[in-house]
């Protein structure tokens, strides 16, 4: 493969391969976790966009919430009751950036099957694909490493599962394991919520098989996935189950692994510096001084990247498909976000539960 799109230069009759046929070359390992995270972008009350409060990379951002109050019940009314004040907690947001760079020559499209706009779109699209791949892996890893490492507050034992504190994983028997997973979540006091789950590629086909065992089968296993509220709560059941191709536990559980969590178990907080979108900053992408802007993802609505581009004069005549008076445009796109799990005052406790199926 030659550089600067030489292989597609107009040296002989050539045609563009249909996008559908060429799509296999730019396929990506797609999982639901990114869309799931984009649905969990709300972090502050009444503030839809963290950009409203954080303009600079230097400014830290904190959230605050009330801690759980746990006091013993009394047995009667008294003359002069006294009590204790509640507490709150500060939750810092730690932002992580993902970036990709690429180049375009503004004269490449003059004698090429592909026009300059098509070349830029291809470069940007492929950069976005690689960013999405990295972001998905980061999200899945965050969910995994932030799973609960202790029993729920005030609970000394859990029925239908064995908690392995060394691996921070609930071990469930392979007979009707999904029903046992939801039982554990209800025992942890999450019965008021329905649950979302990520299954690894080993467990998901087992789920598919069990979900297909309905009323016409000798054994009906579909009850494990019925969206029937547990009374008096309104949840207690699986709402969404997705296969996550990046979920790989490091504890040697080979019969299937799952992450199960109630709604609002984490927040995904995208952000970008103000110079990329605010008025008054350079938009001169085709000049040496460079320009700042934003560009929308070509797959997910509402997902936007920061983009910076600058132009310099260059001699590409010695390179394939080059010119003595060429111009090289350098581009960088990036995505910045913070991942925050629900804050629980019990040290080590998280609403994200890891499950391993045992033989």
Distance of alpha carbon 170 from alpha carbon 178, whole angstroms: 12
- Higher-confidence residue of 110 and 311: namely 311
Q: Provide the pLDDT for residue 251.
A: 84
Q: Provide the pLDDT for residue 241.
A: 94
Q: How many other C-beta atoms lie within 10 A of the C-beta of residue 170? A: 25
Examine residue 46 and state whether it is found in any structural domain, yes or no. Answer: no
Examine residue 263 and state whether it is found in any structural domain, yes or no. Answer: yes
- For the chain, the domain total comes to 1
Residue bearing tokens 């942890």:
188
* pLDDT tens-digit map of 3-49: 777 566 555 555 555 667 677 888 888 899 999 999 988 777 665 67
Is the pLDDT at 53 greater than 70? The verdict is: yes
Is the pLDDT at 129 greater than 70? The verdict is: yes
Domain of 234?
A: 145-268+342-358
* pLDDT tens-digit map of 200-228: 999 999 988 887 775 555 566 666 666 77
Examine residue 165 and state whether it is found in any structural domain, yes or no. Answer: yes
Q: How far, in whole angstroms, is CA 94 from its chain's centroid?
A: 15
Report, as an integer, the average pLDDT of 328-352.
93
Examine residue 207 and state whether it is found in any structural domain, yes or no. Answer: yes
With H, G, I as helix, E, B as strand and everything else as coil, classify residue 150: coil
Rounded to two decimals, what is the model's pTM? 0.84
Using only C-alpha atoms, what is the Rg of the chain?
26
Name the nearest CA neighbour of 182 among 211, 206, 167, 161. Answer: 161
Q: Which whole-number Å values give the CA distances from 269 to 41, 93, 94, 332, 337, in the listed order?
A: 5, 9, 10, 21, 5
169 Cβ partners below 8 Å, 6+ apart?
A: 147, 163, 249, 251, 253, 257, 354, 355, 356
Examine residue 245 and state whether it is found in any structural domain, yes or no. Answer: yes
DSSP assignments along 103-124, one per residue: EEETTGGGGBSS-HHHHHHHHH
Residue bearing tokens 């954080």:
54
Examine residue 189 and state whether it is found in any structural domain, yes or no. Answer: yes
* pLDDT tens-digit map of 130-143: 999 999 999 999 99
Examine residue 350 and state whether it is found in any structural domain, yes or no. Answer: yes
Is the pLDDT at 144 greater than 90? The verdict is: yes
Q: Provide the pLDDT for residue 246.
A: 94
* pLDDT tens-digit map of 227-272: 777 666 678 899 999 999 999 888 889 999 999 999 999 999 999 9
Q: Provide the pLDDT for residue 214.
A: 59
Examine residue 326 and state whether it is found in any structural domain, yes or no. Answer: no
Contact 196, 177 (CB under 8 A): no
């Amino acid at each position: 493969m030659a550089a600067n799109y030489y292989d597609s230069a107009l040296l002989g009759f050539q045609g563009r391969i249909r996008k559908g046929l060429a799509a296999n070359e730019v396929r990506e390992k797609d999982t639901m976790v990114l869309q799931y995270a984009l649905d969990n972008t709300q972090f502050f009350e009444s503030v839809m966009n963290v950009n409203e409060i954080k303009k600079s990379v230097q400014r830290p951002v904190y959230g605050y919430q009330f801690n759980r109050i746990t006091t013993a019940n009394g047995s009667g009314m008294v003359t002069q009751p006294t009590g204790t004040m509640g507490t709150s907690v500060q939750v810092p947001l730690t932002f992580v950036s993902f970036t990709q760079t690429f180049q375009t020559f503004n004269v490449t499209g003059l004698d090429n099957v592909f026009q300059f706009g098509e070349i830029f779109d291809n470069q940007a699209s492929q950069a976005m694909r690689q960013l999405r791949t990295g972001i998905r892996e980061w999200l899945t890893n965050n969910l995994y490493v932030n799973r609960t490492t202790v029993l729920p507050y005030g609970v000394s034992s859990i029925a239908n599962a064995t908690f392995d504190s060394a691996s921070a994983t609930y071990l469930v028997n392979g007979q009707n394991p999904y029903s046992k997973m939801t039982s554990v979540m209800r025992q942890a006091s999450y019965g008021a919520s329905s649950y979302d789950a990520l299954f690894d590629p080993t467990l998901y086909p087992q789920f598919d098989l069990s979900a297909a065992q309905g009323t016409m089968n000798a054994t009906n296993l579909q009850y494990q996935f019925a969206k029937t509220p547990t009374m008096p709560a309104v949840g207690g059941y699986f709402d969404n189950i997705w296969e996550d191709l990046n979920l790989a536990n490091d504890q040697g559980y080979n019969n299937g692994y799952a992450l199960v969590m109630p709604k609002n178990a984490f927040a995904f907080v995208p952000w970008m510096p103000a110079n990329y979108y605010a008025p008054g900053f350079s938009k001169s992408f085709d000049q040496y001084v460079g320009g700042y802007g934003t560009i929308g993802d070509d797959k997910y609505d509402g997902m936007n990247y920061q983009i910076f581009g600058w132009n310099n004069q260059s001699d590409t005549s010695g390179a394939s498909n080059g010119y003595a008076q060429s111009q090289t445009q350098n581009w960088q796109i990036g995505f910045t976000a913070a991942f925050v799990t629900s804050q629980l005052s019990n040290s080590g406790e998280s609403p994200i539960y890891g499950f391993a199926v045992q033989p």
